[in-house]
Amino acid sequence: MNTYIRKNVLLKITAFLALSSGSLYGLTAEERGLQIAEEMDRRDSGFGDTSAELLMELRNKQGETSSREMSMRTLEGIGEGDKSLIVFDEPRDVKGTAFLSYTKKVGPDDQWLFLPALERVKRISSSNKSGPFVGSEFAYEDLSSQEVEKYTYRYLRDEDLDGEPCFVVERYPVDPKSGYTRQIVWVDQSEYISRKMVFYDRKDSLLKTLTFSKYRQYDGRYWRSHQMTMVNHQTGKATTLEWKDYQFGNGYSERDFDRRSLQTTR
């Protein structure tokens, strides 16, 4: 290859690389953060519905533990956020307690809690969604589906987490009544699934860290974490959710998630 041809080839390769990198890195940090969130959403779209069994373990600052068993079912929203219903099975003092959530893409979610001891359905007001879910380190708002429109985004950097390349993205809740000022999410670069999430409270102080592990893939496409651990750095408490028996394609309809289902699903 003579010098002229070599230079010409190098110029073409350089131009190609510049155009390719420009399509990715020409984005602002906000645009790239949103792009990553949209890709996460796209890859998880179309699952229809799911059901699963959960074991919740609560650990206090002294290391003492207690556990609760529950079941959860979810209906994918079409044009809106997902709907979910959680029903407690054990222990006896909370058996029959049920939580229903309608996630909104825009505006506050609708959430209700049925307390069998009082035989009363309690609506969770938007100002209380930062409160703890039945004594756990998860807030009511943590249990809503993670719709793209609920946050604005900013890409921070690439970083390995436990040997896995991740995008690190900061996101800010749109809802002014959220209990968080911001969250930082580590997103697996290969599968676009969350590996870790760090929460900052309304004073922008470090509050909690949620770690996702034991992922399994279903239907050759949908990834679900079978263990989620939320650690509260301010109280020293932690809650772990162990998921099992995931089922897809249950044939659920809107009727399975209306308010009557809070009292009839046991």
Q: What angle do CA 130, 132, 135 make, to 5 degrees?
A: 175
Integer Cα distance of 182 and 204 in angstroms: 7
pLDDT at 103: 93
pLDDT by residue, tens only, the chain of 266 residues: 454 445 455 444 444 444 444 445 689 999 999 999 999 999 999 999 999 999 999 999 999 999 999 999 999 998 889 999 999 999 988 899 999 999 998 888 999 999 888 888 999 987 888 899 989 999 999 988 889 999 999 999 999 999 999 999 999 999 999 999 999 999 999 999 999 999 999 999 999 999 999 999 999 999 999 999 999 999 999 999 999 999 999 999 999 999 888 877 65
Residue of 38, 77, 37, 49 whose CA lies nearest to 222: 49
Count CB neighbours of 44 within 10 A: 17
Integer Cα distance of 44 and 192 in angstroms: 9
Enumerate the β-bridge partners of residue 85: 73, 100
Enumerate the β-bridge partners of residue 252: none
pLDDT at 14: 45
Integer Cα distance of 86 and 71 in angstroms: 6
Sign of the dihedral through C-alpha 10, 15, 19, 21 = positive
Residue of 11, 249, 235, 10 whose CA lies nearest to 132: 235
Q: Which amino acid is at 212?
A: F
DSSP string, 190-250: TT--EEEEEEE-TTS-EEEEEEEEEEEEETTTEEEEEEEEEEETTT--EEEEEEEEEEE--
pLDDT at 65: 97
Count CB neighbours of 170 within 10 A: 19
pLDDT at 19: 40
- Whole-model pTM: value is 0.87
pLDDT at 80: 84
pLDDT at 18: 42
Whether omega for the bond prior to residue 91 falls within 30 degrees of 0, making it cis, is yes
pLDDT at 23: 47
Integer Cα distance of 255 and 253 in angstroms: 5
Tokens of 8: 């010409």
Q: Which amino acid is at 261?
A: S
Question: For residue 101, with 0-12 CB atoms within 10 Å meaning exposed, 13-18 middle and 19 or more buried, which class applies?
Answer: buried
- Regarding beta strands 120-123 and 164-173, do their DSSP bridges make them parallel or antiparallel, or are they unpaired? unpaired
Tell me phi and psi for residue 232, to 5 degrees. -95, 110
pLDDT at 266: 57
What 3-state DSSP class applies to 170? strand
In the chain, where do the E strands start and end? 49-59, 65-75, 83-90, 98-102, 110-115, 120-123, 151-161, 164-173, 182-188, 194-200, 206-218, 222-232, 238-248
